[in-house]
Amino acid sequence: MVGVGLSLMRLLYTVTHLEARLVEENGETHVHLSGVGTFLAIPRIAKALDEVKPDCPVHIHCVQLRYIDHACIEVIEGWTERREQSGQTVHVSMDKLHTRYRTRVSEPVT
């Protein structure tokens, strides 16, 4: 029973974990999102985006996302719109995010 319980906990972690990593390089900030972005990951995404320094170009990389739900996409879209309205530059492929949302987890997005 302990093994089954631990296996279930590991599975739950795998299907709900999102990593948001910030890398600053050459005056730009790169936000790398990987894993599974469900509504449970909204605080992690928001925290990463809030840590981005103002007045520097931002690149949001979503290639390593296995899945992202609509709530997470809305957080990213809202943050991007606010940043762009203040005259700052954000590079993110919203088309790829929406494609990842519509595509099964097991299928790659190109």
Indicate the residue type of 71: A
* Predicted confidence (pLDDT) per residue in 59-109, tens digit: 999 989 988 999 999 999 999 999 999 999 999 999 989 998 888 877 777
Report the interhelical angle of 42-50 vs 70-85 (nearest 10°).
20
Task: For residues 63 and 36, give the distance between their C-alpha atoms in angstroms, rounded to a whole number.
Answer: 12
How many Cβ atoms sit within 10 Å of the Cβ of residue 107? 11
Q: Among 6-10, 29-33, 79-83, 100-104, which stretch is predicted with the lowest mean pLDDT?
A: 6-10
- Which amino acid is located at 79 in the chain? W
Structure tokens at 17: 């974990």
Instruction: Name which of 4-8, 10-14, 41-45 the model is least confident about.
Output: 10-14
How far CA 7 is from CA of 16, 17, 35, 107, in Å, comes to 14, 15, 19, 24
Domain architecture of the chain: domains with CATH: 2-102 (3.30.750.24)
> What pLDDT sits at residue 14?
66
Rounded to two decimals, the pTM is 0.84
Nearby residues of 74 by Cβ (< 8 Å), 6 or more positions away: none
Q: Mean of the per-residue pLDDT values for the chain?
A: 89
